[in-house]
Each structure stands twice: as C-alpha cells, then as structure tokens.
Amino acid sequence: MHEKAYYTYLEYQKRYSAHTIAAYQNDIEQFVLYLNSTFDIVDVLDVTHVHIRSWVVHLMQGNIKPRSINRKLSCLNSLYKFLIRRKVVKTNPLRKVQGPKESKKLPSYVKQSNLEKLFKQIAFEDTFAGIRDRAVLYTLYATGLRRAELISLKRTSFDFANNQLKVLGKRNKERIVPYGQGLADMLAAYIKTRDAEFSSNLQDSFFVTNRGEELYPKFVYNLVKKYLSSVTTVDQRSPHTLRHSFATHLSNNGADLNSIKELLGHSSLTATQIYTHNSIEKLKEVYKKAHPKAKEN
C-alpha cells in the first residue's frame, strides 16, 4: 500500500511527530473514502485533477474552511511528490488544482498596556502555584513559545548564565531564544520554590503541576485563559494569543521581520508577515488620532 510507505517516510526520514502523521493520515483517508464512495476508485494512483477538484467542491459544500481545505491539498501534494520520487506515478494531479482563497484574518493579541497591567498590578498568590503561574505566563509572553514547546522545557533547556533557552520546535527544529533579566529573576524564584515544594521524586519537566507532574495542554490553556480574562476582552485568550502578542509587540516596536521569524521558529517569512498588518493597523490608528487632516471628508 503506497500510503503506508508514505507514512513510514514521514516518520523516519522527515521525522514528523506522531500527531502530525496522524493528521496527514486522517486527511488522506478522508480523500480515499470520498474516491471510493463517489467514483468507485480505491487506489490513489488512479486519481486525476478532476477527482481532486470534485473533492474540493464537496468539502466547500460541507462548509469546511478554506484554510482546512488547503491544508488537506498540501497533504495530498506531499503524497504525490513522494510517489513521483519513487517513480510510482509520472505526474502530480495537484498541478492542475487550485485551492480556495483564504480570507486574511489578523491574529488576536493583547495590548502591551494590558499585559503590563497583568504582571504589575494583578496579585499572584505567594504560593508555589501563584509563582508558577506568573512564571509560565511571563515565559510565554517574553519568549513567544508555543504551548507544546513550553511543556517540553527541561532545566537543561536553559542557559541561565547567558539568559537564553534552547527550544525544540516543530519538525524537531532547534532554536535559541534570549530573554531579559525580568524573566531570569522570575525563573530563579520559581526554581527556588519548586525545589522546596518537591524535594524528591520530581520529574525532569521544568514547569510542573501542583503535584509535581508534567504540565499538559488543557492545564496551560486554562491557566492562560484565567489570567488573560482579568485584563482583556479579546475573543481568543489562549497560549497562542501570548505568542501573537510577543510577535506583534516586537513588530510594533521596530523589530525586523527576519528577527521575529527566527525568534518564533517559523520556517519561512510567509507565516511571519501577518504581523506587519497589525503594525499597519497601529499606524492607521496613530494617524487618525494625530494628523490634522485625517478627519477631513
């Protein structure tokens, strides 16, 4: 089965995570199921661009978002490129297929003044949980880490002498992220409290639950949502909102896109360019408030 060989390739050569491979497999299985039920086709080798276009229409009629459809098409494109390299097929049927246009949605972020209020005015309890919560929030905002990257941090991830940490991001891509003295002091306070709270039987994870166990996604999400709800009314109050805030504030304060790209761990500038739109929106707001001709009809 060609698909099975493809999944093996993703696991051992591309070194994709089990989560990513499962997502690819799910998309391909959905496509094969559609081929079978609509065209009585069971082998991806018999597919043409006509079949794929029909599938796209089917997905759109099912109110699947353009972004999700394009992700599925990207998955298929990767599969057929693999089959071409193995000389199983001669041409890629995706070459004649155009995905639906995606509406540009600006990432949700929290205003800089609101986050300053969170860390300067909101009272965190002087307990292990309170000190941990503040350190988690500050780490997410000060470094722009993804939730999974935060959870996977170990004590060895930190270079405390140089105020920087080593992050293993998507597709096992490693990057170094610097941080300021404010976070360094907060981490030192967390470590002191953590070591006093859990003198033994502590796991290798840097940030831990009240029981000394590794954090899990829902725990981090609930923690972030709880505290962000006290300083902002934005719809999205997730760990990724802090990542967006990190990048947006860097952009608003003059950081160049390449630097933001490296700090976020993006593979290309395409994903990073979205933050220039937020900067433009800020410029428009400043112009409307400050320029004497801005309000003229």
Alpha carbon distance, N-terminus to C-terminus of the chain? 66
Active site residue 146: yes
Active site residue 16: no
The angle, 0 to 180 degrees and rounded to 10, between the axes of the packed helices 128-143 and 112-120 is 160
257 contacts 147 by C-beta, under 8 angstroms: no
SS3 category, 278: helix
36 contacts 42 by C-beta, under 8 angstroms: yes
CA distances from 54 to 30, 31, 72, 103 (A): 13, 11, 14, 22
2 contacts 88 by C-beta, under 8 angstroms: yes
Q: In what order do the strands lie in the sheet with 158-159?
A: 158-159, 164-168, 174-178
Active site residue 104: no
Of 81, 170, 175, 225, the active-site residue reads: 170
What b/e readout covers 227-266, taking b as 16+ CB neighbours within 10 angstroms? bbeebbebeebbbbbbbbbbbbbbbbeeeebeebbebbbb
Active site residue 138: no
Of 132, 194, 244, 266, the active-site residue reads: 266
Active site residue 266: yes
Active site residue 170: yes
Catalytic residues: 146, 170, 240, 243, 266, 275
